């Protein structure tokens, strides 16, 4: 009887030991109730930033950062900075690409992008490729002026530079050299351009300017004086 009681106690003790070990294992491996989630951080910087020049603006394309910091990215900011005195500008957007307007014609820029979530703003990305914005065209050169009846026909050659944007038209302007001030002008697509409505017997000099999408460039040097006929 004693042996049976002893065996019964030993089996009960072994079972209790196994149960205790199992509970301990669960306590080690199971996460504690109510454990705090990792706090979100600022996102990483965007990558692959590229800049494409336009008229007084740059279109900035980029790739989202590899990490959003554990919180949704709600905003991107593209910033374009000039290396030669142009205005610095930034613009916000929700995705790529972002257009940055109000930049300085003829100046060279690189751009960076940062990302923002509820924690804050990321570091700036690596800079983009450098781009130079188009400018107004250079000065044409007047090659000849031919008087006509109340008119002057102005021939010219195109400027050495179109400013980085195709020339869309020219303007010839003839102004009196003495006496009552008077001028006439006419627009055209190419040389020569005839300027009508001038006063016969008065001497005029003529200039030509070129225009592109950016704006009108400087006028040429004036021609030799010429007098329209009656």
CATH number of the domain encompassing residue 180: 2.60.40.10
- Domain enclosing residue 194, as ranges: 141-211
φ, ψ for residue 60, nearest 5 deg: -110, 115
Model confidence pLDDT, tens digit, residues 203-216: 999 999 999 999 99
Mean of per-residue pLDDT scores for the chain: 90
Is the pLDDT at 71 greater than 70? The verdict is yes
The pLDDT assigned to 141 comes to: 98
Question: Which pTM was predicted?
Answer: 0.77
Residue indicated by tokens 């006929």: 229
Residue 118, domain member (yes or no) = yes
pLDDT in tens, 139-186: 999 999 999 999 999 999 999 999 999 999 999 999 999 888 999 999
pLDDT at 102 over 60: yes
DSSP state of 187: E
Whether residues 203 and 145 share a domain: the answer is yes
What is the pLDDT at residue 149? 97
Question: Do residues 127 and 147 share a domain?
Answer: no
What does the DSSP assignment read for 127-160? P---EE--------EEEEEEEEBTEEEEEEE--S
At 171 the pLDDT is 98
Within this chain, do residues 54 and 117 fall inside the same structural domain, yes or no? yes
C-alpha distance from residue 18 to each of 21, 22, 30, 47, 201 (Å): 5, 6, 18, 56, 123
The number of CA neighbours under 13 Å toward the Cβ of 211 is 12
Q: Give the end of a domain, one of 83, 109, 132.
A: 132
- How many domains does the chain divide into? 2
pLDDT exceeds cutoff 50 at 45: yes
Q: Is residue 185 one of the residues assigned to a domain?
A: yes
Tokens for 201, please give them: 């017997």
Same domain? 112 vs 174: no
Tell me whether residue 116 is in a domain.
yes
């Amino acid at each position: 009887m004693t042996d049976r009681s002893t065996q019964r106690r030993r089996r009960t003790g072994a079972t209790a030991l196994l149960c205790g070990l199992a509970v301990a294992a669960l306590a080690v491996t199971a996460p504690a109730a109510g454990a705090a989630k990792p706090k979100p951080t600022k996102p990483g910087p965007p990558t692959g930033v590229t800049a494409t020049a336009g008229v007084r603006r740059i279109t900035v394309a980029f790739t989202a950062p590899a990490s959003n910091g554990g919180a949704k990215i709600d905003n991107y900011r593209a910033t374009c900075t000039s290396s030669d005195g142009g205005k610095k500008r930034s613009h916000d957007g929700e995705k790529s690409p972002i257009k940055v307007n109000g930049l300085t014609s003829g100046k060279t820029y690189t751009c960076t992008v940062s990302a923002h979530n509820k924690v804050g703003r990321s570091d700036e990305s690596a800079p983009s490729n450098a781009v130079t914005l188009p400018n107004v065209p250079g000065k044409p050169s007047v090659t000849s002026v031919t008087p006509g009846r109340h008119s002057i026909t102005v021939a010219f050659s195109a400027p050495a530079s179109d400013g980085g944007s195709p020339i869309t038209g020219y303007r010839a302007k003839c102004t009196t050299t003495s006496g009552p001030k008077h001028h006439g002008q006419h627009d055209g697509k190419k040389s020569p351009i005839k300027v009508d409505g001038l006063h016969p017997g008065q001497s005029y000099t003529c200039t030509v300017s070129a225009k592109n999408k950016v704006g009108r460039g400087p006028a040429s040097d004036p021609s030799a004086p010429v007098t329209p006929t009656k």
